[in-house]
Structure 1
């Protein structure tokens, strides 16, 4: 039966998770790309747009709009790269770090809603199994 196939179950769950994340971040005036870009900058430091796109797994065409939105909010700054003035270096601001902390709390609430029927141990097991599948199929680490 179709509804018992792991691929179908993963797809249905992924669609539900995407909806929860989109709605949950939208409720605080953000998007998933905002969270990903700010997290990459916070964890790994300033980056060129190309490097940030690779680190956050955001396509360059989507990254430009994301950075424009984040810059308008005062969450990131663009400055010419001293080594190559033709490109910009993107840096998270103090306001960006505060915004990221708010987004992390919201993401935590979303994860709790998505995984509500699972115990702490089951959540850890599910996360490990999903990571194993993704790594096997060459997905982002």
Structure 2
């Protein structure tokens, strides 16, 4: 068994080393994945909230950093954030001076979003914060196990076409 906290619904050991959940629950990868995801998501949200940020802020800034300036539609497609939600996210980021929107010289009907210098610095701070959360959440794993987990999760996400990805 393992040494999870008493009352942990994952089937971990409780007081006296007794299992607190059915062993079959510990053998369901989808359940375990869900429990790990809930914990990870909670910790990410908590830490981002401490610096008045959200996962969508990070997704937009990271996407702009990697791909360069983009239209709202391109950002929506690349991040998985619904177009209707993207407007609000960009309003928040622009209001904080983290991105700028300007008319696209090639098509004046659309805006191009660009990160500001402050936005790039903010992204670096968020990178550090998320790395610390990752270290906490993945603490029981070796670096090789973390790399393997990342590859396996990416394979699952790629297989399912990111259709459920609306958070980061």
TM superposition score category, shorter chain reference: over 0.9
* Aligned equivalent of 1:43: 66
Give how far 1:48 is off. 0.7
Q: Distance in 1 between matches of 2:147 and 2:115?
A: 30
* Aligned equivalent of 2:87: 64
* Aligned equivalent of 1:113: 136
RMSD: 1.2
Gaps of 5+ in 1: none
String of CA shifts for 1:67-95, please: whole Å, max 9, x gaps: 01100110000101111111111000101
Larger Rg: 2
String of CA shifts for 1:7-38, please: whole Å, max 9, x gaps: 10011111111101111111111000000000
Give how far 1:135 is off. 2.1
* Aligned equivalent of 2:45: 22
Gaps of 5+ in 2: 1-23, 164-168
* Aligned equivalent of 2:13: none
The normalised TM-score by structure 2 is 0.80
Q: Comparing both structures, which one devotes a greater share of its residues to helix? A: 1
Report which structure shows greater RCO (CA 8 Å, sep ≥6). Answer: 1
- SS state of the match for residue 81, structure 2? coil
The normalised TM-score by structure 1 is 0.94
